[in-house]
Amino acid sequence: MSHPSIHARTDPAKPALIVAETGETITFGELDARSNRAAQLFRARGLVAGDTIALMLENTPEFYDIAWGAQRSGLFFVCISTKLTAPELAYIIADSGAKLLIVSASLAGIAGTDAGGLRFSVGGAVPGWDVWENAVAAMPATPIPDERAGIDMLYSSGTTGRPKGVRVALPEDPDITAATVLMMLARGLYGLGPDSIYLSPAPLYHAAPLRWSMTVQRLGGTVVMLQHFDPDTALAAIERYRINASQWVPTHFVRMLKLDAAARAAHDLSSLKVAIHAAAPCPVPVKEAMIDWWGPVLYEYYAGSEGNGLTTIDSAQWLEHKGSVGKAAYGVLHICGEDGVELPAGEEGLVYFEGGGAFEYHNDPAKTAEARNALGWSTLGDIGRIDADGYLYLTDRKSFMIISGGVNIYPQEIENRLITHPRVADVAVIGAPCPEMGERVVAVVQPVDMAEAGDALAAELTAWCRAELSGVKTPRQIDFSAELPRHATGKLYKRLLRDQYWGEMNAGIV
């Protein structure tokens, strides 16, 4: 049993949340009162256990007020990316069945400004909307009488199509303080607890930052939240707040490693004992460089919002199994071929988990069924292999595979090579239409300096690839972009890039 409400009674003055850039601090006592007011407001507006709310907020303290208020009200809370368009937002609100919407005032234009439904703005007034801060201020700071554990309902980032809502049942135990699987993993795998000072640099609407930071608060630790990721700001926060635990994605590592040597050496990082990373595969040279810099404090895991399984690996294990995302810590790993038959060690196929958490894709029984095989094992759609020691290696997502001249090509390997070039800030590799081969390999590169984009850099990058990759994997075309459509959590919206190239073909341009 553990919950911010318990810590509010035992240590009310302890910081539950610190905003890294400003130093604004919310204590456990304050978080308890603020989340109680949120829960009271939900009940006052007619919401009952099992109902759904949606929120689209930047990283702001109110995010935790709302999430914990929903958790102690028995609600499903849908956390929506601030990068979505109005149609994408409207789709998620309608699909989730949200009865109440809370949006940053600066983003209200995306959500529409009509007064229909229960709508609240945070951080400013919006015509026809209620102001969240005013509404909760009128509520009592005491618990609602019918507290019941709620849970998040998150949507996939939609990298290959429309976002999918991942829905699990409300916890069987209604006690809001009941232990969760993530709490046990956080304590057992990473030693997180009341002494943790945890840096969360990514947007809270994503599963990992939301769930792990709330878990730290459950355990009585302090969350230091970055409003926006910046490599210098992140390093400064580690030193300023004596951060001892943190969570990252590989693009954070790449951006920090691109800093010059003086900037990287400017901050004392000795307090950092645990640096967890996930969300996307980390190129081997990038992780090697991070371990050389930070020491053996990197801990990687592989999982999805679906919560169907988890693999983990620490730095020492990784150095013995470079490129692996670890061994199963929750659920049993299997690799299966296209025919559903399990494959032996070393062979590539779809990655399945057996015995992990149950989930469904909201309003999409076909997608739910597609994620399971005849034995009931579930997959996130990733391709990989397991070595003789039980370590999983991810190849790529099945949906990203390029088929050129009948050869299967996985973009991740090519991206991992290109991102290590000193003049590359970001890269996406996709399959574009090719009349002769079906698809051709195209690399879309974001240079460190856009002024360098051109034929000379393209030729240099082609040679860089050829030095380590076979000819069939070397991009046939390298295009440049000032910015890639990357989710703030590190995932690429590859479907947007693919649509550009395939749309050109359909329009007769290619």
pTM of the model: 0.83
Is there a single domain that holds both residue 372 and residue 405?
no
3-state secondary structure (DSSP) of residue 413: helix
Is there a single domain that holds both residue 16 and residue 163?
yes
CB 383 within 8 A of CB 351: yes
Is there a single domain that holds both residue 228 and residue 360?
yes
Higher pLDDT, 498 or 398: 498
284-294 vs 250-257: helix crossing angle, rounded to 10: 70
Is there a single domain that holds both residue 21 and residue 145?
yes
Residue 319 lies in a domain: yes
Average confidence score pLDDT of the chain: 91
Q: According to the model, what pLDDT value does residue 109 have?
A: 87
Going by pLDDT thresholds of 50, 70 and 90, the confidence category of residue 125 is very high
Q: Is the pLDDT of residue 510 over 60?
A: no
The pLDDT tens digits for 200-233 are 999 999 899 999 999 999 999 999 999 999 999 9
Is there a single domain that holds both residue 234 and residue 383?
yes
Segment 326-342 mean pLDDT? 93
**Residue-range definition of the domain harbouring residue 83:** 4-178
Q: Is the pLDDT of residue 396 over 50?
A: yes
E strands, 3-57, in order: 15-19, 25-27, 52-56
Q: According to the model, what pLDDT value does residue 120 have?
A: 96
What CATH number has the domain bearing residue 418? 3.30.300.30
Segment 345-352 mean pLDDT? 94
Is there a single domain that holds both residue 447 and residue 385?
no
Is there a single domain that holds both residue 144 and residue 220?
no
Q: According to the model, what pLDDT value does residue 160 have?
A: 46
The set of residues, in sequence order, having a beta carbon less than 8 Å from that of 428 and lying 6+ positions away, is 411, 415, 443, 444, 484, 486, 492, 494, 497
The residues that bridge with 72 in the sheet, in sequence order, are: none
Residue 204 lies in a domain: no
- Please give the tally of structural domains in the chain: 3
The residues that bridge with 246 in the sheet, in sequence order, are: 199, 275
> Which has the minimum average pLDDT: 6-20, 285-299, 410-424?
410-424
The pLDDT tens digits for 250-297 are 889 989 999 999 999 999 999 999 999 997 778 888 999 999 999 999
- Given 350, 365, 397, the domain boundary residue is 397
Is there a single domain that holds both residue 352 and residue 380?
yes
Burial class (CB in 10 A: 0-12, 13-18, 19+), 79: buried
Is there a single domain that holds both residue 15 and residue 112?
yes
Q: According to the model, what pLDDT value does residue 490 have?
A: 66
Characterize the bridge pairing of strands 130-131 and 100-104.
unpaired
Q: According to the model, what pLDDT value does residue 406 have?
A: 66
Segment 101-115 mean pLDDT? 82
Is there a single domain that holds both residue 28 and residue 167?
yes
Is there a single domain that holds both residue 131 and residue 80?
yes
Q: According to the model, what pLDDT value does residue 157 have?
A: 59
- In which residue are the tokens 């983003």 written? 107
The residues that bridge with 119 in the sheet, in sequence order, are: 101
- In which residue are the tokens 């109110």 written? 62
What CATH number has the domain bearing residue 299? 3.40.50.12780
Is there a single domain that holds both residue 17 and residue 156?
yes
Segment 345-358 mean pLDDT? 94
